[in-house]
Amino acid sequence: MTKSDETTATSLNAKTLKSFESTLPIPTYPREGVKQGIVHLGVGAFHRSHLAVFMHRLMQEHHLKDWSICGVGLMKADALMRDAMKAQDCLYTLVERGIKDTNAYIVGSITAYMYAPDDPRAVIEKMANPDTHIVSLTVTENGYYHSEATNSLMTDAPEIINDLNHPEKPDTLYGYLYEALLLRYKRGLTPFTIMSCDNMPQNGVTVKTMLVAFAKLKKDEKFAAWIEDKVTSPNSMVDRVTPRCTDKERKYVADTWGIKDQCPVVAEPFIQWVLEDNFSDGRPPWELVGVQVVKDVDSYELMKLRLLNGGHSAMGYLGYLAGSVDFEEYTASVLERFSNPAIQDTVARICLMGSGKMPKYVLPSIYEQLRKPDGKYKLLAVCVAGWFRYLTGVDMNGKPFEIEDPMAPTLKAAAVKGGKDPHELLNIEVLFSPEIRDNKEFVAQLTHSLETVYDKGPIAAIKEILDQV
């Protein structure tokens, strides 16, 4: 790699692409005139380091055609990505940074980008087009409007209410999925597969169940039954640590490879995708590029969510306050990945959207332990205590910070009112079921841990439990 002055870096786009081929690998497959077999809702850093990379490999190494990706930005905040994608003809630099080695290449598997707030109907028509075989998703846990405690659709959410009453301008993925599938239903077309690539348990089952619930609220029982019977939505386990892009990454790409890239992606070298083979309208041969296509993803999913994501959340909240499955091999790989200094995933990012993450990554482990006669949940209680203290919006030095969560006003009010008493937060029914709320032993342990975090700090709370092990 050679160093380049950032001010002399060349902007990345289709016209300049060839100029970079002596510096790093570029797409050699045709990008113009190809069909987009996948429409992806929610084009962020993770999608571009994961599904888009697998598609890039298939197109680059196996000359796959007509399976490129049309990215879609659903939210107004996606305007920045829209502008970057437009300026760069949907090209971007992917940098894989390991502990010792760095690998970089330009990805071109996204060949079109649509910004839904500008023209929602065009997005719906694109999804309904017979050339679209898969609609994939990375909308984060909160984008599913799924109450973990009641396993139901959050029907009182303003965005869901909007989509039920104003189908011409949806706010959520359900509004778009419903309207696009309705067009295919009326036109006698095979339904597309809905493929969640979000990091949550039973992601395929969840999105389909919530979509059916949404459809039933629309009072079209026949169409709702068609969705339930005909639409497939495979479960998947996705894994790759991919921090948010900052100016630091943009400068690094410009200085190292001479590329002026508005939206580069820096990720760890590790990548994994375990996917249930459950598709209604065909799929690419992902097995050729290392995807594990299986009948059941549950065992893979369980160890990943509990070990990697649960550990991430535990470190995140406590750290912020302080300023054929081989389980042993997987545990070792998690520890190695956490220690990678080249992938500086910020504690602040890990703490985002806790109301979506904690019920999926940490609370299931607590439920499991509570059902055992000798259940061990003290460290898990410390993790929850760290989250509860974090939700006050003030760190241990008295410095206020913003809580980025759709439930932030409710959570912060409960955390401040409850203080060292966890009951105010435990009484939020969409997050906590009676199984936790009414368990006296667990609540007592949580109260003790919360008091320790408040009085002595998160490190002391962790050390106290570890000293008992």
157 — alpha (psi -120 to 50), left (phi > 0) or beta?
beta
Helix (H) or strand (E) holding 237: strand 236-239
Give backbone dihedrals phi and psi of 49, rounded to 5 degrees, phi first: -100, -5
- State if pTM tops 0.75: no
Distance CA 450, CA 173 (A): 37
Q: Are strands 272-276 and 236-239 parallel, antiparallel or unpaired?
A: antiparallel
Q: Pick one of 3.40.50.300, 3.30.1310.10, 1.10.1040.10, 3.40.50.1580 as the CATH number of 299-466.
A: 1.10.1040.10
Dihedral angle computed from the Cα positions of residues 365, 367, 373 and 377, in that order, rounded to the nearest 10 degrees: 50
Distance CA 352, CA 405 (A): 6
Instruction: Say which CATH architecture domain 6-296 belongs to.
Output: 3-Layer(aba) Sandwich (3.40)
Query: Do residues 267 and 94 lie in contact, with contact meaning Cβ atoms separated by under 8 Å?
Result: yes
Query: Do residues 120 and 400 lie in contact, with contact meaning Cβ atoms separated by under 8 Å?
Result: no
Strand blocks (E) in 154-217: 193-196
Placement of tokens 């300023």 in the chain = 323
Domain coordinates in residue numbering, the chain: 6-296, 299-466
pLDDT in tens, the chain (469 residues): 344 555 689 999 999 999 999 999 999 999 998 999 999 999 999 999 999 999 999 999 999 989 999 999 999 999 999 999 999 999 999 999 988 899 999 999 999 999 999 999 999 999 999 999 999 999 998 999 998 888 899 999 999 999 999 999 999 999 999 999 999 999 999 999 999 999 888 999 999 999 999 999 998 899 999 999 999 999 999 989 898 889 999 999 999 999 999 999 999 999 999 999 999 999 999 999 999 998 888 767 766 655 555 454 555 566 666 654 443 454 455 445 544 555 454 444 555 667 888 888 788 889 989 999 888 889 889 889 999 999 999 988 788 888 888 899 999 999 999 999 999 999 999 899 999 999 999 999 999 999 999 999 888 888 888 777 6
Contacts 24+ apart (CB under 8 A), 31-34: 31/68, 31/89, 31/108, 31/111, 32/111, 34/65, 34/66, 34/68, 34/111
Distance CA 71, CA 115 (A): 9
Distance CA 82, CA 262 (A): 11
Helix (H) or strand (E) holding 123: helix 120-128
**425 contact partners, CB below 8 Å, separation of at least 6:** 388, 391, 411, 414, 415, 418, 431, 432
